[in-house]
Amino acid sequence: MMRVLNTKELIPVIRGLCIQACQHLSPNVTDALKDARRREESPLCQEILDMLIENADYADKNNLACCQDTGMTLIFMEIGQEVCWEGEPLMEAVNEGVRQGYQDGYLRKSVVADPIRRVNTRDNTPAVLHTEIVPGDQVTITVLPKGAGSENMCHVSMLTPADGVEGIKKAVLDAVDYAGGKPCPPLVIGIGIGGTMDKAAVLSKQALRREIGNRNPQPHLAELEEELLKEINDSGIGALGMGGTVTALDVHVEAYPTHIACLPLAITFQCHACRHAQAVL
Amino acid sequence: MKITLPFTLEMRESVKIGDVLELTGNIYTARDAAHGRIREAVEQGLPLPIDLKDKTIFYCGPCPAGPGRIIGPLGPTTSARMDPYVEMMFQQGMAACIGKGDRAPYVAEMCRKYKGLYLLGVGGAAALCANAVKEVEELAYPDLGTESIKRYYVEDFKVVVGIDAQGRTIQEENIRRYRRR
């Protein structure tokens, strides 16, 4: 039995998710910041974390963007294979939702139409849309506004099988040290391992959808997450790179089968405002 | 420490890395695109959009103002992208710049040479930071939208000294102190 959905139903949902994600940090993120404040040893970083917690609360209560970089809008849609779309092209509906959300939420328009000519589109469109076809008749939409301070620190390494887990760890820790305070730590770090270069990159983004504190269900990947989290926090970078004991709120690893000759690794940095909002249609 | 802008040479020489400053006075926004245009003007010998002498430049592109507000949420952007412009800006008279994140080692050398400061804003505290801004005036490049040059009159705007006029950098010294690997 097909479920017919008109693409225009997406518009108000995506509009609302853009505003929700940018103005109202989830309790999962604010709790993680409060926990970081308890663990942080540097007085300067404690002061910074206090400000970030107060800022999140103030933004939430006053319907303001918690950060001025409201990002390029990354959207994941898991579309049930029993859904049949009608109406305008889906991408147009997605962009209309983004347009309305960034306009009505007083969010910054940070997208240029061409990477070389660089003229602002003035409505934050187009979004970057990743679709997955899944079983069922529902559509799960996640909006993840991605700021550039953290995005510019992302990294891809085409490792070889011989590099193994040690090679993965070294590449991640090198990327964290190189990034320093630029991506606005304390970070959530998404790591994609396996597949092809593009698959690893998408996995590293999908990893950011997971709640802070949740581990990968596969024990060897959960162990890698724990080990990386400890070593990243031993880097000394601290909140906003001012020197401290909490550099990451969490590390999320996602893996996929790969070629006998490959070990692709992608690292996505996400800032302390790990913004995302989700809805199910 | 409360500071009334503009920075004098004596003030710049007296503060040191890690000092928390509360700035009151005018600061001027310029980020990637505005710096590109300033460089073009300097290279072509054209007049600059603002006189940079003793100015504090804020690497910032704000959100639009909502109802009843003069400016939307705002905060520092990543400074490293402006590293290639720092010497030119100091040569034009810039006293200090405000941004976030560490910078290329040569920026510390520039701060020492020109007795300038690199100040760290609190990245991601944008809703609170906007409350420190009491006046907004767009001065140049309005076509750049959020990237235009604006004057903000701020009161008690909190920043941390990241690189001082001796060329010391906070990241280098503080990160080492907390590093455990």
Nearest residue of B to residue A71 by CA position? B63
Q: How far is CA A101 from CA A90, A145, A220, B16, in A?
A: 17, 12, 40, 43
Tell me if chain A has a CB within 8 Å of the CB of B18: yes
Return the number of CB contacts < 8 Å for A and B.
165
**Beta strands in A136-281, from DSSP E residues, in sequence order:** 139-146, 155-159, 187-195, 248-258, 263-270, 277-280
A233 and A243 Cβ atoms separated by less than 8 Å = no
Domain enclosing residue B167, as ranges? 2-178
Q: What is the DSSP string of A80-105?
A: ETTEEEESS-HHHHHHHHHHHHHHHT
pLDDT given for residue A226 in this prediction: 98
Whole-number percent of chain A with pLDDT over 70: 100
pLDDT given for residue B111 in this prediction: 98
Residues of chain A with C-beta less than 8 angstroms from the C-beta of B145? 109, 120, 122
- Of the residues B69, B119, B128, B170, the best mutation for testing chain A's interface (the one with the most A CB atoms within 10 Å of its CB) is B128
Contact B124 A272 (CB under 8 A): yes
Whole-number percent of chain B with pLDDT over 90: 98
User: Rounded CA gap, B24 and B164, in Å?
Assistant: 19
Burial (Cβ within 10 Å: 0-12, 13-18, ≥19) of residue B47: exposed
**Comparing B88 with B172, which gets the higher pLDDT?**
B88
Catalytic site positions of B: 35
pLDDT given for residue B172 in this prediction: 85
Which residue reads 């290329």 in tokens?
B104
User: Rounded CA gap, A75 and A143, in Å?
Assistant: 5
Q: How far is A165 from chain B (nearest CA, A)?
A: 18
Domain count, chain B: 1
- Closest-CA residue to A53 (of B69, B63, B175, B127): B127
* Tens of pLDDT, residues B76-125: 999 999 999 999 999 999 999 999 999 999 999 999 999 999 999 999 99
Tell me if chain A has a CB within 8 Å of the CB of B175: yes
Instruction: Please check the confidence at residue B24 and state whether its pLDDT lies above 90.
Output: yes
Instruction: Please check the confidence at residue B181 and state whether its pLDDT lies above 90.
Output: no
Average pLDDT over residues B136-143: 96
Predicted complex ipTM: 0.93
Instruction: Please check the confidence at residue B150 and state whether its pLDDT lies above 90.
Output: yes
- Of the residues B133, B175, B177, the best mutation for testing chain A's interface (the one with the most A CB atoms within 10 Å of its CB) is B175
pLDDT given for residue A1 in this prediction: 78
pLDDT given for residue B159 in this prediction: 96
Segments of chain A with pLDDT less than 50: none
Question: Any idea what the CATH number is for the domain that residue B29 is in?
Answer: 3.20.130.10
pLDDT given for residue A37 in this prediction: 98
